[in-house]
Amino acid sequence: MSKTSNINRVDGFAKVTGSATYSAEYKTQGVAYACLVGSTIAKGRIKAIDTKKAEWAPGVLTVITHLNVDKPAGYDKPKDKSNLGQPLPIFKDNTVLYYDQPIALVIADTFERMQYAASLIKAEYLKEEHTTDLHKAKDKEKKIDTDKGNDYHRGVEDGYKNADVVIEHEYTIPTEVHNPMELANIIAKWDGNKPSLFTKSQGVEGTRKSVAGVFGIPIEDVSVNSEYLGGAFGMGLHTWPYEIAALIGAKKINRPVKLVLHREQMFTNVGFRPYTIQKMGLGATKDGKLTGLTHEAVAMTSSYEDFMEGTVNMSRFIYDCANVSTRYRIVPLDTCTPIWMRGPGEATGSFALESAMDELAHKLDMDPIEFRKRNYAEKDLEQNKPWSSKFLLECYEAGMERIGWKNRKNKPGSVREGEWLVGYGMGTGTFGSYRNPTTVKAKFLLDGTLVLQCSVNDMGPGTATMMTAIGAEITGIPPENIVIEMGKSGLPKGPTQGGSATTSSVGSAVHDACNLLISKALGLATENQNFKNTPISDLAFANGSISSVKGAAKKVSLVSLLNDNKLEELVAEKESKGSEEAKKYSIYSFSVHFVKVLVNPNLGKIRIAHVVSCADIGTVINEKTSAGQMFGGAVGGIGMGLMEALEIDHRFGRPINNNFADYHVPVNADIEKQEVFFVNKKDPISNPMGTKGLGETALVGMAPAIANAVFNATGKRVRDLPITLDKILEPSTAKV
C-alpha cells in the first residue's frame, strides 16, 4: 500500500460542509416527533400513570405506555436473547428495572408540542429496594459458564503466592459513558408490515435481525439505513429500547416518527463501560522473572441481561509466565445493561495489569520496560500458538526514544521542572485481530467509475477511505473515481463495525472483489476482439488497463473493454473470510502508550505534557485515518485516566453528572503534545493486506500509562480511576 497510503478522508468534505446526512436528518414526509419519558425510580412497579393531560395537549398524536401498547409479536415468543438484541421489552409490563427506564412514549406533530406534552405525564410507583453500588453487592456475584466466564488456570493455581517478590492490589474503574456528539436517534416508518429505520447503528445486519426478532417478521422485510455516524464507540452495537419504541409508535399512528434521545438519556439508556473491581496478584523472582499472575475481575451487569467482556483475558497471554489464573464474575445491578465501549474488556483489564506490572517493577527496583522485556512472550502461551506477527519490542524502542525515557528516574519524585514534578509512565495494550465474513460488490461503470458496495457502517474511523484506498491500489483506478456505497441494507452483507475488525474484514473483501473484477475483465478481453486467442496468463492488468506481457503495444482500458463489448457495467461480487491457515496462529495487535506528566504537588493538578502512542497494527492502509484513530483512542484513555466517571447517587440509583458540564472529557487544552508511531510491517497471516486491528489498541494501555507516570512523578499510587486532584492531595493514597 503505497501510492494511496495518504489519501484524504473521502467523506471529509461531506462531513464538514453538512451534506452528510445523519439518521435524524433525513427529510421525511409527514414525520411526527417523539420522546421517551423515563422512570424516576430505579426499581419497582408503576402503580399508576396519568397520561390524560398529555393526550389532551395540543398537537399530540398518541401517548403509549404499558397500558395501551400493541405488543410486538416477538414479545410472546420464547425468549431468544440472541434474536432480540436487547432483552428489555419496552412497555411490556409495569416493571421498572432501572432509573430513567422509558415508561411512556409521547408523539406530537411538532417538536415543541411533544416536549410540552411529555412534561405533563405523571407516574406513581410501588418502589422496591434497588442496588446500584457494586461494592455493596459483591455477594451477588455470579459465574457464567462461557468462554469469557470460565476460570482459567495455567500451571499452579494462584502460583504467584509462592514467588520471592509478591504484590497484591485492588483496582477499580468507574462506569464510563460513550456519549458521541451525535445523539442516539432514529426515524422509524412502516410500509404495511415492513419497517424501515434511519438509525444510529454500528451494524445494519445486526439491527435488522433484532428488529425482525422483536416484531416477528422476516429479516428481509426490515430495512436499515445508517450511512453516517457521528461517533459511537460501541453504543451502536446493540438495538436499544428507544429504537423499538419509535417503531411501535410509528406503527400505531401510521406515520414516520423521529426520536432523538436527550443528552441526559445518553447516560442512562444506551449502555456504558461497566464499573469493575479487579484484584491482581503478581509474583516474580528477584531478578525480575514473572512466575505467577492472578487476575480477578468483578463487573456490574443489569438485572435482566448478563453482559460480559474480556476483562481478564489479556493477562493470560501478554507476558511469559508459567502460572496464570484468571477469574471473572458479574453482579446484577439495577441499571441499564452495560455495552462494549472502545477497547472493551482489555481497556479495563490493562489498567489493573499494567498498573500492577509497574508496581512490581518498582518493588524490584527495575525499569518497567526492562521488566517487561524480561517477560516478553515469544508465543501465545494461552492458545499455545505462534504469533502471526509481533513487533511489540519495536514499539517499546520507538516510544522510549520519542518520550525521552532516558530522563526518567526509577525513584519517584526525583525529576522536576520548576514547581512541577515530572513523571514518565507506560502501558502495554493489545487486542485480538479478527476477520469476519464480508461480501463486497465491485462495479465498474462506463463513465470510468468504480463503485464498491457493502452494508458495513463507517462510524468515523475511515472505513470508506480504507475501501477507496484498497480499491484504488488494486485496480489502479484513481481514488476520485471510486464511489463507496455503504451503511444500508440491500447492499452486499457487511459485518458489524466493531472489535477493530472492519479493515481486516471489509478491506479483504474489497481486495478480493477487485481482483475478481480484474480476472473477469481479463476473461472478457480474451473472449472477444481485444485479445482474442491470447492466453489469460499473457495478459497483465495495471492502472485500469489491460495489456499483453508479450510486448505487443496494445492497451485496452476498462472503459473501452465495456464499450467494445456493449456492456453498461462489469460486476464482481465476492464473499471473503478468514483462512484455515490463520487459525494456526494467534493474531493480535499490540500497542504501547508512553506518557510524560507534570504534577503540581501543592495543587494536585496533573498535566499531560507528552503522549507517544506506538502500535503494531500490521500494514497501515492510510496514515491519516490511522493516526486519527490512534490520537482519538489515546485521548479516550486520558479521559479514562483523569476525568471520566459516571457518579451515581445510590440513595436514588440515579446519575448525578448526566451532562457534559459535570461529566468531564478531555479537550485540546488537556493535551500538550501528542505523537503516534506505527511499526507498519505486514502481518503475513492475518489477511491479504496484512493489516491487524487498530481502534481498540488505540485506547488499551493508556490509562495505566498515566497512572504509572503519576506514580513516577509523585510516589502516589492511585488505583481507583479517574486520577483526580483530590487523590493526589489526599495523604492516605500514598501507601505503596
Distance CA 205, CA 239 (A): 11
Distance CA 91, CA 85 (A): 16
Nearer residue to ligand MOS within complex by CB, 234 or 544: 234
Distance CA 228, CA 225 (A): 9
469 near ligand MOS (CB under 6 A): no
Nearer residue to ligand MOS within complex by CB, 125 or 233: 233
> What one-letter code names the amino acid at 688?
P
Q: How far is the CB of 202 from ligand MOS (least distance, A)?
A: 6
702-714 vs 346-363: helix crossing angle, rounded to 10: 30
The stretch among 229-237, 255-263, 484-492, 728-736 that binds ligand MOS (CB under 6 A) is 229-237
The stretch among 231-239, 260-268, 385-393, 602-610 that binds ligand MOS (CB under 6 A) is 231-239
The alpha carbon of residue 167 and the mean position of all alpha carbons in its chain are separated, in whole angstroms, by 32
Whether 211 and 247 have beta carbons less than 8 Å apart is answered as yes
Nearer residue to ligand MOS within complex by CB, 230 or 413: 230
Nearer residue to ligand MOS within complex by CB, 64 or 347: 347
495 near ligand MOS (CB under 6 A): no
Nearer residue to ligand MOS within complex by CB, 202 or 714: 202
Q: Residues 154, 251, 258, 342: which binds ligand MOS (CB under 6 A)? A: 342
Nearer residue to ligand MOS within complex by CB, 186 or 501: 501
Distance CA 307, CA 298 (A): 12
The stretch among 230-238, 484-492, 606-614, 665-673 that binds ligand MOS (CB under 6 A) is 230-238
341 near ligand MOS (CB under 6 A): yes
Q: How many residues bind ligand MOS (CB under 6 A)?
A: 10
632 near ligand MOS (CB under 6 A): no
Q: How far is the CB of 233 from ligand MOS (least distance, A)?
A: 6
Residue environment code for 560-595, b if the CB has 16+ CB neighbours within 10 A, otherwise e: ebbeeeeeeebbbbbebebeeebeebbbbbbbbbbb
Q: How far is the CB of 177 from ligand MOS (least distance, A)?
A: 13
382, 417, 696, 730: which one is catalytic? 696
Q: Which residue has the cell 503522549?
A: 611
Q: Residues 98, 319, 340, 594: which binds ligand MOS (CB under 6 A)? A: 340
| Helix, strand, or coil (residue 627) | helix
344 near ligand MOS (CB under 6 A): yes
Residues 676-705 that bind ligand MOS (CB under 6 A): none
Residues 236-295 that bind ligand MOS (CB under 6 A): 237
178 near ligand MOS (CB under 6 A): no
Task: Kindly give, in sequence order, each residue whose CB lies less than 8 Å from that of residue 635, ignoring residues fewer than 6 positions away.
Answer: 666, 671, 674
The stretch among 133-141, 220-228, 233-241, 291-299 that binds ligand MOS (CB under 6 A) is 233-241
Whether 506 and 559 have beta carbons less than 8 Å apart is answered as no
Q: How far is the CB of 492 from ligand MOS (least distance, A)?
A: 21
**How many CA within 13 A on the CB side of residue 350?**
31
Q: What DSSP state is assigned to residue 39?
A: P
331 near ligand MOS (CB under 6 A): no
Q: How far is the CB of 22 from ligand MOS (least distance, A)?
A: 17
Q: Mask: binding to ligand MOS, 364-403, rule CB under 6 A, as x and -?
A: ----------------------------------------
Whether 457 and 497 have beta carbons less than 8 Å apart is answered as yes
The stretch among 41-49, 330-338, 340-348, 540-548 that binds ligand MOS (CB under 6 A) is 340-348
Q: Residues 102, 180, 234, 425: which binds ligand MOS (CB under 6 A)? A: 234
Q: Which residue has the cell 476473461?
A: 523
- Measured CA angle at 385 (ends 380, 386), to 5 deg: 80
Nearer residue to ligand MOS within complex by CB, 470 or 700: 700
Q: How far is the CB of 261 from ligand MOS (least distance, A)?
A: 18
498 near ligand MOS (CB under 6 A): yes
Phi, psi of 498 (to 5 degrees): 180, 170
> What one-letter code names the amino acid at 636?
G
Q: How far is the CB of 341 from ligand MOS (least distance, A)?
A: 5
Q: Mask: binding to ligand MOS, 297-326, rule CB under 6 A, as x and -?
A: ------------------------------
The set of cell numbers assigned to 657 is 453528572
Q: Other CB atoms closer than 10 Å to residue 650's CB: what's the count? A: 14
Phi, psi of 585 (to 5 degrees): -120, 160
233 near ligand MOS (CB under 6 A): yes
The stretch among 100-108, 249-257, 278-286, 334-342 that binds ligand MOS (CB under 6 A) is 334-342
| Helix, strand, or coil (residue 257) | strand
| Residue 696 annotated to the active site | yes
Q: How far is the CB of 695 from ligand MOS (least distance, A)?
A: 6
Q: What DSSP state is assigned to residue 275?
A: P
Is the backbone of residue 716 left (phi > 0), alpha (psi -120 to 50) or beta? beta
Nearer residue to ligand MOS within complex by CB, 341 or 516: 341
| Helix, strand, or coil (residue 98) | coil
* H helix or E strand, kind and range, residue 63: strand 60-64
The set of cell numbers assigned to 428 is 502495554
**How many CA within 13 A on the CB side of residue 9?**
18
Residues 198-227 that bind ligand MOS (CB under 6 A): 202
> What one-letter code names the amino acid at 70?
D
Residues involved in catalysis: 696
Q: Give the interface with ligand MOS as residue ranges (CB under 6 A).
A: 202, 233-234, 237, 340-342, 344, 498-499
